[in-house]
Each structure stands twice: as structure tokens, then as C-alpha cells.
Structure 1
Amino acid sequence: MTDYAPYACFPDRSRGRLHAEAGGETRGPRDAFQRDRDRIIHSISFRRLRHKTQVFVSPDGDHYRVRLTHSLEVAQIGRTIARTLGLNEDLTEALCLAHDIGHPPFGHAGEDALEAALEGQGGFDHNAQTLRTLMLLDSPYPRFRGLNLSWDMLEGLAKHNGPVARPGWAMRQVDALFPMDLHSWPSLEAQVAALADDIAYDNHDIDDGLRAGLLTLDQLLSVPLVAQCWERVVARYPDVAPDKLLRELVREQIGHMANDLIATTRANIEAAGVKSIEDVRAAGRALVTFSPELAMQERALKRFMYATLYHHPTQLAAAERARVIVTDLFAAYQADPSLMTGEWVEDCATQEPERSRHIADFIAGMTDRFAEKRHVALFGGSGVVIAD
């Protein structure tokens, strides 16, 4: 058995699953968290991430990231950090792989459209939708709804960004089914997953932005964190042309941020006197953090990325088209639920808010390309893509 730190999550101490499972149904010698990870990997909702927006809406280019590849990259970073800190690597990996499953098509543009559509019915939140999908909607097993993941897994997904002080309707619903102590801090594994996500998208979005020609090296060097890392890269490879070092810059930044997080987290754990998972939950603050200096630099990088990439005119135009698609689909299904498919038509409620929430579940599960195809079928026109 792996040697874990005393404050890690141990699979044999898990609070279990919502639905009891007979031991004879376990396939292979896997512990609870390994089975959680494998259930995510084999799920339909995880496979759909290959056609969901990360940064670029329905990218033509084969080399741009999508939600699936992003989640795999988050898992790689999270596993490495967890292993180094003595945390449960399997639980961390499972959390990283599943963290974006609740995202609707077209990323944040799709989420904004669903939030507006459900304004009078409780709104929409992709994090709560992840729990809703895994606990209620994605149901491959014959005896229960959902994937029946462990409490530790669900709690980590609910609170990886910290305690949930004001849960929305979807979070309240799943919490009522399997209470997740929303007021307390999550496991260190969940905290690692949250910052592994930041490390991944901070840096890989730079890579995609450069590839798309929406970012330039000169622009990036105005950001202190990037400039510092670039200096180290150039010092290591003084005889290599700058355009050949852009991928190395991304790798340097990832390593720098991961190493800072590991060192700072170790110091936080020691200073807090944490000896157990109970101590982690009662700490009253995040223990997995960047150093104050890097945290400030990372926030500056995010501001730069919003100003130059996420809010680039071509991105805003694609996002607006995506919002139109999702808004139109919601209105069409609300006017005539028979336009949905299969059991979604049969299960649609007649009363509100259940009717609107059911329609939102249907749309949230769509991939970008399926949403585009349904919109074309219902309204004509064409989809929304970026230039290669």
C-alpha cells in the first residue's frame, strides 16, 4: 500500500457511497478511490468532454485543447503534486478528471446563456451541474442513479474551491441526498485539484493563444511572471531561436508554479500543525496555496489573459454566437419539449421549475457540435467555429 501522509484521504476510511454495493460486484483489486477514477474515465459524460470548448469554440485546428485534453493535463499536474505531498494520488486524479463535467457546450458562453434562461428557476452553475450529472443524470448501473461515487469524491467536487456558503438549488438538492458538510474546508486532494486546474489553464491557454496568433511573445513579456520564466529559458538555450522556445516557456511556468505550490503548501501544513484529515477540514483556510508573491503574479497573468485572449474580438464574437445557439435551443425546447430526443421527451415535467431545469440538463450535456447540429436543424444557418 502507498505510504500516505497522515493528513491524506485514505480509501479504507472513506464515508462510503450513497448506495451500498455488494463486495462481489467489485471488478478487480481496486480501492474506493481507484474505482471512482475508473468510473469517471468510463463514463459518457467524461467522453463528451472531447467535443466541449476549453478556450476556442469548436476549433477547426486539431492541436487546440478541449475540455477533455484540459482535464487530462490537470490530472497529470495534480497527480505529481499529490504524490510529492504524500496525498492520495488516485483521489486527486479522479477529482481532476471530473472537475469540468458540468460545463455546458461552448464553455462560459454556454453557461452564461443557461444562467440567463434559468434566471427565474434558480439559475445555473457548472460546478453544481457536475455533481448533478454524476449523482443523478449519468446512470450506467442497473440498481441506482448516477455513478455512485464515494463521499470523499463528491465532497471534493463540491468544495474544491472552498466551503460553499450559499449553495444554489442544484447543490442543495445533491447535498440533501448525500450531505457533504458544505460549510467545512475540503480535503487537501481537492485543494490540489483546484490549483492544478489553475496551473493548467493559465499556461496551456497561453500555448493555444500563441498557436492561434491571438497572443504574441512581446505581449506576454509585459507580464512579470512570464518575463521571469522567459529569462531562465533563454539563459538555458541562448543559441535557440525565440520561436522555438515558446513551448519551453510554458513548461518552465508550469514547473515554477507547481514547485512554488508544493513548497508553500508544506510550510502551511507545518505552520497549521495539521496531523489528520479532520485537522485539514477544521483549519479555517486553504492550506494548498501559492506563495503570496506568486499568487499576486498569477492574478496579474489572469488579468492579462482576460484582456488579450478571452476578451479578444474574435473570441467575443464566437461567444456571442454560442450564446445565441444555447438561448435559441432552450426557447425551442421550452415551447415544444418533443423537439428533444428519446427519454428526455418522456421525462420532461409539465410544471416549473422542474421543466426548465430538465431542459437545461439536456442542453448542458450537449457537446459543441451536437448543439450546433441541433440549432441548424431547428433554425437553419451554420455553426460557430474559429479560423484554423
Structure 2
Amino acid sequence: MTLAPFATHWQISRGRLHPEAPSATRSPFARDRDRIIHSGAFRRLRYKTQVFVAPDGDHFRVRLTHSLEVAQIARSLARALNVDEDLTEALALAHDLGHPPFGHSGEDALERVMAPWGGFDHNGHALRIVTKLECRHPGFDGLNLTWETLEGLAKHNGPIFEPGWALAGVDAAWPLDLASHAGLEAQIAAIADDIAYDNHDLDDGIRAGLFEIDEVVAAVPFVADCWAAVTRRWPGISARRRLVPELVREQMGRMVTDLLATTRGRLAAIDAQRVEDIRGAGHTIAGLSAALQSEVQLLKTFLRERMYRAPAVARLRDPSEAVVEGLFAALHADPDLLPGDWAATCPPGEPARARHVGDFVAGMTDRYALKLYEEMLGPSPLPKEMVT
């Protein structure tokens, strides 16, 4: 398939920091995607919180399943817009690699305890993982991804004018033009993330009993309109749980249709003829229309109040943060408690020592963090049913 002229073309990629022979069967961006899939950091997403901490329901999303769902949406959008699917998929699969255990609670805790040494940011940590911490080759640290993949990971949410220490270190080793926008593939991965969690969190919230569909319909006109369309289409279905997946499909379909029309209009407005036109546009190209974005914002507000701040979720926030803070404090005070190579390679001075410990804690899964806390510090502050 011939890509659009404004796509990121692998044939003119800026390459890899450490030169490698080309693959006979895969493009450089396809190799990046495959390296991400085979990384330890990607496998650990299976046991990292999306919304629910260590969920006991087999059907709730975790970071891994969320990343796969984002990749599916992003790949479909890339195909429709005729840009590079492999690069888009790589960025979608990798976008959450830097999240620590316990989701945003864990990130907030790491940000606090590491504040004296530059703090913590999950996006910067994702770049640190793929350029330094994943050591799967004898010749270099990291995954040796292409410049375009690193650029997309760094800037998928827009230009960065004041990078944190982790991203600044990656940029110093290989400048990523942080002050410009990323290519369209990265922008697609970012909006696919929004589409995925807006819709799938609604599904998970209903499944968890945090709210009923009638409550969402009453509060969010966009959902009400989509629900009306679904119930008209399936008038004989009385089991509402059976209709919720259809509601999710309806909402996602409308978002995708709107996004494609809006993005094509923006591409035409700047007469995009090459990827540099996307990077230099001065604004995001891939996105929803202002009208639909306003409607979707009401859904985000509903989910924030009724799901992310729900008592059943919020009650685990402080204990989760206590686990992360306790582990960091203990390991920072005595790095010999770190396992194997982590202890052997711990730098003696600051801030490198604190950042090394932060790297280790950030890489933990929820269940490993709980296990290690109980081994090192005693009973977990999380409710008993969460740690058995």
C-alpha cells in the first residue's frame, strides 16, 4: 500500500542510535513494534492497574488489555488515514510502559518521594525504559528503537518545552525536536488512547456496579443519544447488560467517524504534503471536532466523579501510595535490599542512586509490590482481600 505523502515513511527514517543491518522481512517500524511486544516491560503491564487495583474480576481492564485495545483503534485509524500502521501500533502498544504499580496513585507517590532528585513522570520513564532499562542486546542498552518511534513516545500528547530529567536525558543523547509536534501516527495513538478509556471505563464502571446505565444517560447527552439509537435498533432486548457492549460500539463508531472527518479537514487546511508539515503545523492535526469534544468532556467528568473518585476506588488510593512510598524509602535507605544486578549496579551518589531505586520501584507490578512490601516491611496497608 502506498502511504499518503504526509505519513511517516520508514524509507527516510532517521534510523537508530546504534546502526543495525536492515531486516529482510520487516520495516524498521515493524521491528520496533515487535521489540516492544517482546519486552519485559510490556509483559508486566498484565499486572499493572488501569483503574481497579489488583482487580479480582477477570473481565476488568488492566494496562496490558487497555494497550491492546488502544492499538486496535489506532491501527484502524492509521489505515483509514493512509499513514504507517506499524509505527502507529508500536506507539499505541508502548504508550503506558512507564506507568508504575497502582496506576496514578503509584505515580503520585513516586513523584513525591523522588521530588528531591527531579521527581517522576511516567512518560519520561517510558522513554527511559526503551532507551536504557530494557537490556535485551549485548551491544547496547534499551531496545534501540528508531528516532521516529522515540519521538512519537515523547511527544504523542504534544510539544514539550520543559522536559523532566528522564526525558531530558534521552533528548540529550539523541535530540528529539521536543518543541515541535510529533507525526500523525503518534497523534493517532494519543487520541486512540482517549477513545479507548472513555468507552471501556464506562463499560468497566457499569460491570463493577459503580453506576447504572440510566445514571449515565441522565447525565451525559452524548451517551443518551447513543443509547437511544441502540435501544431503537434492538427493541426486543430487555437485558441491559447485553446492550452495553453495543452502546460502546455505537459511541466508538461515532467518535471514529468524527475524528476521521475532522482530521482530514485539518490536513486539507494546511495542505499537508510531508510529515514535516504535520510537525510544524503549530497545532494538533488528529482529533475530534470541537462540538464532539465538548460532549465527550461531559462523559469524562461523569467518569471522574462516579468512577475514578468512587469510594470503592478511592479507598485504595492512600494505602497504594503507602506501599510505593514504603518500598522506595526502604530500598533507598539500604540498596543492598535490591535484588541481584539491581543491587550490584546501584550508584553510590545522588541523584543517580535515588533514580536507580525509582526505576526499580516503577517497574514493579501491583502484585510484586504487595509481595515485596510484606516481605520487607510487614502487613500491607491495603485491605486484606486485596493481598490474598
Q: Please give the range of the TM-score, normalised by the shorter of the 2 chains.
A: over 0.9
- State the distance in 2 between where 1:298 and 1:40 align: 31
Q: Aligned AA for 1:301? A: L
Q: Aligned AA for 2:12? A: R
Instruction: Return closer, same or farther for 1:83/1:126 CA change in 2, 3 Å cut-off.
Output: same
Q: Does 1:54 align with 2:50?
A: yes
| Map of 2:137 onto structure 1 | 141
| Map of 1:319 onto structure 2 | 317
- State the distance in 1 between where 2:252 and 2:318 align: 31
What's the CA shift string for 1:344-370, capped at 9, x where partnerless?
Answer: 101111211111111000000111100
Of the structure 1 ranges 215-224 and 375-384, higher mean CA displacement relative to structure 2 is found in 375-384
| Map of 2:356 onto structure 1 | 358
Structure 1 residue 244: Cα displacement? 2.0
- State the distance in 1 between where 2:176 and 2:120 align: 20
Q: Does 1:170 align with 2:166?
A: yes
| Map of 1:240 onto structure 2 | 237
Instruction: Return closer, same or farther for 1:196/1:386 CA change in 2, 3 Å cut-off.
Output: farther
- State the distance in 2 between where 1:338 and 1:299 align: 47
Secondary structure of the structure 2 residue equivalent to 1:287: coil
Q: Does 1:228 align with 2:234?
A: no
Q: Does 1:100 align with 2:96?
A: yes
Secondary structure of the structure 1 residue equivalent to 2:315: helix
- State the distance in 2 between where 1:190 and 1:184 align: 12
| Map of 1:185 onto structure 2 | 181
Q: Does 1:290 align with 2:299?
A: no
- State the distance in 2 between where 1:218 and 1:339 align: 51
- State the distance in 2 between where 1:14 and 1:231 align: 47
TM alignment of 1:230-379, pairs within 5 A: 230-241=227-238, 242-379=240-377
- State the distance in 2 between where 1:243 and 1:62 align: 17
- State the distance in 2 between where 1:359 and 1:219 align: 44
What's the CA shift string for 1:274-333, capped at 9, x where partnerless?
Answer: 111011111110011101111111212111111110001111111211101000000100
- State the distance in 2 between where 1:301 and 1:351 align: 47
Structure 1 residue 204: Cα displacement? 0.5
Secondary structure of the structure 1 residue equivalent to 2:182: coil
Instruction: Return closer, same or farther for 1:60/1:78 CA change in 2, 3 Å cut-off.
Output: same
Q: Structure 2: which 5+ residue stretches go unaligned?
A: none
- State the distance in 2 between where 1:215 and 1:36 align: 40
- State the distance in 1 between where 2:69 and 2:242 align: 22
Q: Does 1:6 align with 2:21?
A: no
Is the CA contact (8 Å cut-off) linking 1:318 and 1:386 kept in structure 2? no
Structure 1 residue 243: Cα displacement? 3.1
- State the distance in 2 between where 1:301 and 1:138 align: 37
Instruction: Return closer, same or farther for 1:55/1:333 CA change in 2, 3 Å cut-off.
Output: same
| Map of 1:113 onto structure 2 | 109
- State the distance in 1 between where 2:156 and 2:56 align: 32
- State the distance in 2 between where 1:158 and 1:325 align: 28
Identity %: 54
Structure 1 residue 334: Cα displacement? 1.1
Structure 1 residue 386: Cα displacement? 6.0
Structure 1 residue 251: Cα displacement? 1.2
- State the distance in 1 between where 2:163 and 2:136 align: 27
- State the distance in 2 between where 1:16 and 1:243 align: 49
- State the distance in 1 between where 2:325 and 2:256 align: 39
What's the CA shift string for 1:97-152, capped at 9, x where partnerless?
Answer: 00000000010000000000011111100000000000000010010000000000
Q: Aligned AA for 2:104? A: H
Q: Does 1:219 align with 2:218?
A: no
Q: Aligned AA for 2:19? A: A
Secondary structure of the structure 2 residue equivalent to 1:65: coil
Q: Aligned AA for 2:311? A: P
- State the distance in 1 between where 2:317 and 2:214 align: 26
Q: Does 1:16 align with 2:12?
A: no
Q: Quick one: which of 35, 39, 47 aligns to 1:39?
A: 35
- State the distance in 2 between where 1:18 and 1:3 align: 27
Secondary structure of the structure 2 residue equivalent to 1:245: helix
TM-score under structure 2 normalisation? 0.97
Q: Aligned AA for 2:346? A: C
Is the CA contact (8 Å cut-off) linking 1:56 and 1:386 kept in structure 2? no
Q: Aligned AA for 1:345? A: A
Q: Quick one: which of 53, 63, 72 aligns to 1:67?
A: 63
Secondary structure of the structure 2 residue equivalent to 1:184: coil
Secondary structure of the structure 2 residue equivalent to 1:195: helix
Structure 1 residue 216: Cα displacement? 1.1
- State the distance in 1 between where 2:298 and 2:12 align: 40
- State the distance in 1 between where 2:21 and 2:250 align: 47
- State the distance in 1 between where 2:367 and 2:386 align: 13
**How many correspondences in the alignment?**
383
Of the structure 1 ranges 233-242 and 153-162, higher mean CA displacement relative to structure 2 is found in 233-242
Q: Does 1:123 align with 2:131?
A: no
Q: Please provide the CA RMSD for this pair.
A: 1.2
Secondary structure of the structure 2 residue equivalent to 1:246: helix
Q: Aligned AA for 2:154? A: A
- State the distance in 1 between where 2:221 and 2:336 align: 54
- State the distance in 2 between where 1:80 and 1:100 align: 19
- State the distance in 2 between where 1:291 and 1:316 align: 33
